Structure 1
Amino acid sequence: MRYRSDHFVAHGSLRDIVVLDADIEDWQQMLSSLASSFWEVFLSVDFPGEPQETPVDARRLFEELESNSDASARLEIRVDGVSFRCYFFQSDEIEFTFDPIEVQDETSFQAVVQFMTWLGDLCGKRVIMTMETAEHAAIPALLDYVPTSVGRVMALLRMGVGERGWV
């Protein structure tokens, strides 16, 4: 992937990094891997009236979030100065949000690449970066990471409307 400053212009909109078509096993794999992560990880789970479990069980987490309007969960992973935040909106999509102002050059862009690569390899699924939205599949991806079945990685970068460049 190559750094393009126009993908990170701070004009009030955040950026989303998303695993589409995720399942509860993807969530559990991601949550379980955090204990061995070398990044700064902050996880807050609040189920009123119940003690917090560590490690977090993904299935129970989503069941509690769906059934209890007072329950909340937040995950933040800091990678080389870029903070990726997850609020556990839906179980069929792993979504992290970050502020594009944190990505100012090739060096900070590598944090985004590293995070997308980690997430895609961990889940074995495509990871995209889009403008902040609730409909990720409906808009063009700014960055696209696809792990291959043989373990190599293809990095795809949207070069313009309707064009896709191989890097």
Structure 2
Amino acid sequence: MTKINYTKVLDQLALQVGGLIEIYVLGASYEDWSRVIDGLRQAGYEMALTELETEIPVDFGPHVFDKMSDVEYRLAIRLGCQVWTSSFYSLDSIDFQGDPRDVTSTGDLVSIIQLMMHLNESLAKRVVLVPETFDPGMVEPYLAIP
């Protein structure tokens, strides 16, 4: 991995006014999602799953991608004071959204990098940190692993 200029990334995130930041893994599958959820659980990440804003056990399955139902699922991962969420928008991309206002220190950024590295190691796929976007493949990432 190339050397990360923490100050530069923190400065870029500070300019992200009014939008979220996202961690993306493109080209994912249901099996990739399952590996990620299992790996996060095994690594001790603090996670919560909600269904229509009611917390339920983290019981990951194909139902969280069911667009035909009225059920809305949201997975939240806590990294210190940060909360990263996924609403399972797409089966083929793993997407977690966070608030750049919660990333104010090198320690905050390191926890994001550790999550990104965990995703990369679990899936052997590129993981990027980008501004909120509908097309992460067309945006210059703040960070990319590898």
Instruction: Give the TM-score, by structure 1 length.
Output: 0.75
CA distance in 2, matches of 1:21, 1:56: 19
Q: What is the identity percentage for the equivalent residue pairs of Structure 1 and Structure 2?
A: 26
- 2:11 corresponds to 1:32: no
Higher percent of residues as strand = 1
Alignment of 1:12-161 (within 5 A): 12-45=18-51, 55-57=59-61, 59-62=62-65, 65-68=66-69, 70-146=70-146
Verify the 8 A CA contact 1:82 1:111 in the aligned structure 2. no
Verify the 8 A CA contact 1:22 1:91 in the aligned structure 2. yes
Query: Gaps spanning 5+ residues in structure 2: where?
Result: none
**How many residues are matched?**
137
- Two-structure CA RMSD over aligned residues (Å): 1.8
Verify the 8 A CA contact 1:32 1:55 in the aligned structure 2. no
SS at match of 2:44: coil
* 1:101, distance to aligned residue in structure 2 (A): 0.9
* 1:6, distance to aligned residue in structure 2 (A): 2.0
Instruction: Give the TM-score, by structure 2 length.
Output: 0.85
**Which sits farther off after the overlay, 33-42 or 84-93?**
33-42
CA distance in 2, matches of 1:136, 1:36: 28
SS at match of 1:67: coil
Distance 1:53 1:111, change over 3 A: closer
The amino acid of 1:42's aligned partner reads: A
SS at match of 1:66: coil
CA distance in 2, matches of 1:37, 1:76: 15
Higher relative contact order by CA 8 Å / sep ≥ 6: 1 or 2?
2
The amino acid of 1:55's aligned partner reads: D
SS at match of 1:22: coil
Verify the 8 A CA contact 2:49 2:57 in the aligned structure 1. no
Runs of 4+ in 1 over 4 A off after TM superposition: none
